[in-house]
Structure 1
Amino acid sequence: MNALTKDLMKLTAIAEEDGNKNECYRQRLHLMPPVGWLNDPNGLCQFKGIYHAFFQYSPFDAEGGVKMWGHYTSQDMIEWEYQGVTLYPDQPFDCSGVYSGCAFIEGGEMYLYYTGNVKLEDREDYDYINSGREANTVLVTSPDGMHFSRKKLLMRNSDYPSDLTLHVRDPKVWKESGTYYMLQGARTKDDAGQALIFRSEDKINWQLDSRVETEEKFGYMWECPDYFEVDGVKVFSASVQGLEGEEWKDRNVYQSGYFLVDGDIHGKYSLSDYRLWDYGFDYYAPQSFETEDGRRVQIGWMGMPDCEEYSNRTTDDGWQHCFTFPREVFVKDGIIRQRPIREVEEIKILSEETENYLETKKYTVYEAVIFNIQKDQFRAVLSDELVIEYKNKRLVIEFINNRNNKVSCGRRVRYADMNTVTDVRILADESSVEVFVNDGEYVFSTRYYPEEPGIRIEAEGALIQVYELNISR
């Protein structure tokens, strides 16, 4: 442990001890930073029966700053325990931040791959894109998920193709037919987004294998790439920056979505149209992993980078952002879908059940489930401010009333077009809502800051159930 590491450990401990203890809008279901800033989920895995969720963490400032990896563990993905900081920016190859990466499990060992970020802002030619930066691929290992090896530098920008800018990052590793593969998101010098695939025989030495790209330019940067198969369907996921045009004008500043892959992603393949993982306000940089019982689970950052449209009230209390609740990704009728992990069923207490109409102001952390909606008649209003409604073949989430902008903090409207609505699940926490429509075919996530609890649901012919969620955190 070098002197810089020791200093960062001391400063982090002070920040966490002295952090604002105001519990207003602190989540109970969703992972948050102890203090300061949280963004991308990293290193998600289940290792020797324990779930691990690392996260981009800036404990010194709720508006962000130099990133390190915080660390949570859990036995059920419901109750989580904070384990402190695992990776500090303490080496020349990651001194400007321990950026995003993944976990790969093999042979009783955890391998953490990440991007070591370096900003050489004192150079006269520093331009953020083509000069004055470094994006280094780094590895650490662990036999138990708690104690970690020294960092090993694997690749620098000089090891990546020469037609790329310095924006190459966010490794995701998997094994296929005895060979190891690594995805990295990239931006070309022609400002086209793509992903690189590297291969290795030993998890240490990597060579370029191929690229994943669209026939026509699709954004200028693909961040946090992911590749997996679920129920026999091949999925390539990427968070895309720089999408323009009519299709994206009512969306977020950056998008997170996926392509279905037809063929061999290492060779001849085609990509489907790009579809969003989430149509709400707050969703970016999702990462997935396979549980030991074979499920594909995904967690995203319930936030948005470079967003000037809206903000969060919690910055006044010294913290900002959270993760989405873990979701199972599955296929039904040939469609990729998402649902809250099944472990949530263990903490549900059926509190109210009725048909057609329900109104209550009793709960702040709950799940509302609406089945068998007839004639597409559905409307829900949360805390008299957030409307979720199906009308004119469009599911809309919209903030209304909005007293002094306190509830939405600038959020207004998001939507997705669909032919019908048959069922809706609403997962509400102290300051967030996740909405799953038509058995998870469409999902909407948003932060919100209600002045008082309450939900009102109108759904013709439907069975409406509200479950209070019993969790101690």
Structure 2
Amino acid sequence: MNPLATHLSSLIKEFEEDNICKVNKDPLRLNYHIMAPVGWINDPNGLCEFKGKYHVFYQYSPSEPQGGLKYWAHCTTADFINWTQEEIALYPDSIYDCHGVYSGSALIDEDRMYLYYTGNVKHDGDYDYINSGREQNTLVISSEDGYNFSSKQIILRNSDYPENMSNHVRDPKVWREGDSYYMVLGARDKNSEGEVLLYNSKNKINWQYLNSIKTKEKLGYMWECPDIIKFEDKTIIMLSPQGLEAEGILYNNVYQTGYMFIEGDIKSEYSLSEFVEIDRGFDFYAPQSFKDSKGRRIMIGWMGLPDIPYKNPTTENGWQHALTMPRELKVINGKVHQVPLVEFEKLRSSVYQFDVNNDEAIQCNTRSFEAIIEFSEKIEHLKISLRKDVHLSYSEGTFTMSLGESGFGRDSRSVNIDSLQSVRIFSDESCLEVFLNNGEEVFTTRVYDDKEDTILTVNQCNAKATGKVYSLNKFSIK
């Protein structure tokens, strides 16, 4: 650790010690989601499995709950239930990343962990910081144990990106195919159109530009956090485009996240399917995935968004945002499904089973619960009420999540879905994750009710259905 990093580490530890009690007393703190110790958290980074542990890095601004100078915080687990908060892994301590260590990914190769990330630099002066005044450097560090890292090495600068690129090129995702390595970077060109840049390398250090991945018609002005995901017989590109205009119930958040199927070879000739939002809720962005030793494709997203038009009340207590539950990705009938990891069943404690009757009120006894409702016949309409003023409804082929005052500006989001077989709700102190039809559609949102309302009511349902409600225990974090 260089002297600047040592100094920053000391300041952060002192700040955390001074503020951790206030943060932890907030009743809106979550029980089974990753949060920053204090301050701000955003993109998950460097997700991987390495030497018997899962590693989750994330963007961290400890002293600024509204977001500020970015570090990479680090936590580990062997089972997704018992976690260790590790030392900060990356500091903005070099001339290549002095204004923030931005997002990136992990490559496990030859018994080492390699972390690729974007170093942000903003020059003083009269710049627009789009086409001038900003450096977006791609850097790499490596480790033999996942905790102690080598010195930083810059591998790509602005001058290494195509000439038609703006200064916004970032978020490297790296993988290996055979004896070659590939990297995608999210980008904004000088015409303010989003795309992804593809590079390759033979040695993980020297990289050559191969191709641009983009849609025929403009899809926003910037593509962030790209991820190329290969399933058995399908490949998708997942990304977070900025600048999409709302189209009815589509694209209603300030920025979106979704995927497109890739046909052909992205290195030469390819085509992209239509863009599909991967989460229909209010608070989901910048996901990243990795493949574990069990063959699962696991994804974690940021339970938040940049530039949101509403205030989260947690900022008053010195913190903001969280990461989503880890989800296994599967392609079923030509659509990406998200399924909560089976490990989360270990959090279950008491269970209450019931037959669904209209206006039945189920006392959950806690705001941390999992509810599963399954329908044994075709359902035409449904309404579920929970928390202070959250309503989940299904009618005429449309499922809607509606929030009242507890949404703090979040109102309603919807998706069209042909049939509804099941609803699975994960409720934590200040968030909800709702999975329809075993993850065919998902709604993720923060919700801030001001009282202990633990009643779940199924007050409109035309079909036979059964339900279970599990109380959920907390993560263990040390």
Classify the TM-score, shorter chain.
over 0.9
Is 1:74 the counterpart of 2:77 in the alignment? yes
Gaps (5+ residues) in structure 2?
none
Show the counterpart of 1:467: 470
Show the counterpart of 1:382: 386
Distance 1:392 1:35 in 2: 44
Distance 1:333 1:245 in 2: 27
Show the counterpart of 2:15: 15
1:84-99 equivalence runs, <5 A = 84-99=87-102
Show the counterpart of 1:222: 223
TM-score, normalised with respect to structure 2: 0.95
1:399-418 equivalence runs, <5 A = 399-400=403-404, 402=405, 407-418=406-417
* Offset at residue 350 of structure 1 (A): 4.7
* Offset at residue 249 of structure 1 (A): 6.8
Q: Is the 8 A contact 2:245 2:251 kept in 1?
A: no
Output the amino acid matched with 2:226.
P
1:472/1:216 CA distance change after superposition, 3 Å: closer
Q: Deviations over 1:176-196 (max 9, x none)?
A: 132100000000001110000
Q: Is the 8 A contact 1:231 1:331 kept in 2?
A: no
Show the counterpart of 1:170: 171
Distance 2:427 2:267 in 1: 41
Q: Deviations over 1:406-442 (max 9, x none)?
A: x211111111111221111101111110000112111
* Offset at residue 399 of structure 1 (A): 1.2
Q: Is the 8 A contact 1:115 1:135 kept in 2?
A: yes
Q: Is the 8 A contact 2:289 2:300 kept in 1?
A: yes
Q: Is the 8 A contact 1:37 1:62 kept in 2?
A: yes
Distance 1:392 1:201 in 2: 54
* Offset at residue 261 of structure 1 (A): 0.8
Output the amino acid matched with 2:439.
G
Output the amino acid matched with 1:303.
G
Q: Deviations over 1:248-289 (max 9, x none)?
A: 776101000000111112121111100011000000000000
Q: Deviations over 1:300-359 (max 9, x none)?
A: 000010111x22111111000000000000122232100101111222235111111352
Is 1:370 the counterpart of 2:373 in the alignment? yes
Show the counterpart of 2:33: 30
Is 1:185 the counterpart of 2:186 in the alignment? yes
Q: Is the 8 A contact 1:79 1:471 kept in 2?
A: no
Is 1:60 the counterpart of 2:63 in the alignment? yes
Q: Is the 8 A contact 2:243 2:255 kept in 1?
A: yes
Root mean square deviation, CA, Å: 1.4
Output the amino acid matched with 1:117.
N
* Offset at residue 378 of structure 1 (A): 2.3
Is 1:293 the counterpart of 2:284 in the alignment? no
* Offset at residue 376 of structure 1 (A): 2.9
Distance 2:355 2:431 in 1: 26
Q: Which shows bigger deviation, 462-471 or 432-441?
A: 462-471
Q: Is the 8 A contact 2:171 2:186 kept in 1?
A: yes
Output the amino acid matched with 2:272.
L
Show the counterpart of 1:202: 203
* Offset at residue 79 of structure 1 (A): 2.2
Show the counterpart of 1:425: 424
Distance 1:366 1:258 in 2: 30
1:208/1:297 CA distance change after superposition, 3 Å: same
TM-score, normalised with respect to structure 1: 0.96
Secondary structure at the aligned position of 1:88 is classed as coil
Show the counterpart of 2:136: 135
Q: Deviations over 1:118-173 (max 9, x none)?
A: 011x223x111011100000000011111111111111000110000000000000
Show the counterpart of 1:123: 125
Distance 1:360 1:377 in 2: 23
Q: Is the 8 A contact 2:237 2:260 kept in 1?
A: yes
Q: Deviations over 1:227-251 (max 9, x none)?
A: 0112321010110001125347761
Secondary structure at the aligned position of 1:440 is classed as coil
Distance 1:28 1:222 in 2: 32
Gaps (5+ residues) in structure 1?
none
* Offset at residue 454 of structure 1 (A): 2.5
Show the counterpart of 1:322: 322
Deviating above 4 A after TM superposition, structure 1's stretches of 4 or more consecutive aligned residues are 247-250
Q: Is the 8 A contact 2:244 2:251 kept in 1?
A: no
Output the amino acid matched with 2:183.
M
Show the counterpart of 2:439: 440
Secondary structure at the aligned position of 1:281 is classed as coil
1:422/1:85 CA distance change after superposition, 3 Å: same
Output the amino acid matched with 1:263.
G
Q: Deviations over 1:199-223 (max 9, x none)?
A: 0000000000111100111110000
Is 1:6 the counterpart of 2:6 in the alignment? yes
Q: Which shows bigger deviation, 98-107 or 244-253?
A: 244-253
Output the amino acid matched with 2:125.
R
Distance 1:262 1:377 in 2: 37
Output the amino acid matched with 1:417.
N
How many residue pairs get matched? Answer: 465
Output the amino acid matched with 2:11.
L
Secondary structure at the aligned position of 1:85 is classed as coil
1:163/1:82 CA distance change after superposition, 3 Å: same
Distance 1:214 1:250 in 2: 17
Output the amino acid matched with 1:334.
G
Distance 1:181 1:42 in 2: 17
1:253-268 equivalence runs, <5 A = 253-268=254-269
* Offset at residue 472 of structure 1 (A): 4.8
